Amino acid sequence: MSFQEYLTQEWPDILDLTIQHAEVVLIAVAIAAVVGIGGGILVEGHQAISQAVLAVTGTMLTIPSFALFGLLIPVFGLGSTPAIAALTLYAIFPVLRNTITGLESVSADIVDAARGMGLPGWRRLLIVRLPLAWPIVLTGIRVATIMNVGIAAIAAAVAGPGLGQLIFEGLAQIGGANALNETLAGVLGIALLALILDLLFVLVSRLTTSRGLRG
């Protein structure tokens, strides 16, 4: 069966897996965004603490994803839950780092002006600092998302949903009928999904960034 024939026959399943894949990634990134932005706000300004937090979350990125998924089985069992948990852990670091960087990059003069005007701390954060840090924070979320689209393929190892299933199935029966087609469909699907999500972020960025900040 040629790749084209395979696609014509299997596309409803492939589309289904792609949507599952996107779901797992986006749920994980959403959780990571809340944790990462919240954590970034909390630790920003405390030099020692933020360095420690960045070091710990950064270290998580060095854990091979295959191993991390496996390590989470005793905690979360099989399926979507360990997949989302692992992806969340990976996504926290870019969001957290960019939140801290973003907040630190807001000019001291601007913050001084906000303080001097009598804006209390939380209003300073919501009205001034976060909106100014937002383009950088959003870049962190975008990086986390794209990175997770790739890592999520490994989730199939813990019976997680998504395009990884095609890849793992294909690799398991290498030499057999459709083995190459399945793997190829998985890989291309992941690449395409990453591209679509990336374009989506360009749109979100335009919609959520003040005109006064755009170049």
Partner 1 sequence: MVDSATHPMIRLEHVSKRYPGTAGAAVSDLSIDVDAGEIVVLVGPSGCGKTTTMRLINRLIEPSGGRIYLDGEDVTGVNADQLRRRVGYVIQQVGLFPHLTVAANIGLIPRTLGWDRKRVRARVDDMLVLVGLDPGTFRRRYPKQLSGGQQQRVGVARALAADPPVMLMDEPFGAIDPITRERLQDELLALQARIRKTIVFVTHDIQEAIKLGDRIAIFAEGGRIAQYDTPARILADPADEFVASFIGSGAAVRSLGLQSVGELPLEDVDVVDQAGAGESAARRLLVDGDGRPARWLDGAGSGGTNGAVAVVGSDASLYDALDAMLRAHDDVAVVLSTEGAIRGQLRWDAVLHRTRPTTSDPNAGDLSAGDVSGSR
Three-class secondary structure assignment of the chain: CCHHHHHHHHHHHHHHHHHHHHHHHHHHHHHHHHHHHHHHHHHCCCHHHHHHHHHHHHHHHHCCHHHHHHHHHHHHCCCHHHHHHHHHHHHHHHHHHHHHHHHHHCCHHHHHHHHHHCCCHHHHHHHHHHHHHHHHHHHHHHHHHHHHHHHHHHHHHHCCCCCHHHHHHHHHCCCCCCHHHHHHHHHHHHHHHHHHHHHHHHHHHHHHCCCCCCC
Q: Rule CB under 8 A: is residue 62 a binding residue for partner 1?
A: no
Interface pattern 168-207 for partner 1 (x via CB under 8 A): ----------------------------------------
Q: Rule CB under 8 A: is residue 64 a binding residue for partner 1?
A: no
Q: Exactly one of 55, 120, 203, 207 binds partner 1 (CB under 8 A); which one? A: 120
Which range, of 81-89, 126-134, 139-147, 192-200, touches partner 1 by CB under 8 A? 126-134
Q: Exactly one of 1, 8, 71, 123 binds partner 1 (CB under 8 A); which one? A: 123
Least CB distance to partner 1 at residue 47 (A): 17
Q: Considering the complex, state which of residue 99 and residue 165 has its C-beta at the smaller distance from partner 1.
A: 99
Angle at the Cα of 67 from the Cα atoms of 66 and 72, rounded to 5 degrees: 105
Q: What sign results for the dihedral spanned by CA atoms 120, 121, 125, 129?
A: positive
Q: Exactly one of 17, 132, 136, 149 binds partner 1 (CB under 8 A); which one? A: 132
Give the integer Cα–Cα distance in Å for 135 and 74.
Answer: 38
Give the integer Cα–Cα distance in Å for 25 and 8.
Answer: 26
Q: Considering the complex, state which of residue 123 and residue 206 has its C-beta at the smaller distance from partner 1.
A: 123
Least CB distance to partner 1 at residue 114 (A): 8
Q: Considering the complex, state which of residue 54 and residue 111 has its C-beta at the smaller distance from partner 1.
A: 111
Least CB distance to partner 1 at residue 39 (A): 23
Q: Considering the complex, state which of residue 128 and residue 158 has its C-beta at the smaller distance from partner 1.
A: 128
- Counting residues that bind partner 1 (by CB under 8 A) gives 21
Which range, of 6-14, 26-34, 104-112, 167-175, touches partner 1 by CB under 8 A? 104-112
Q: Which parts of this chain interact with partner 1 (CB under 8 A)?
A: 107, 109-110, 112-120, 123, 127-128, 131-132, 210-213
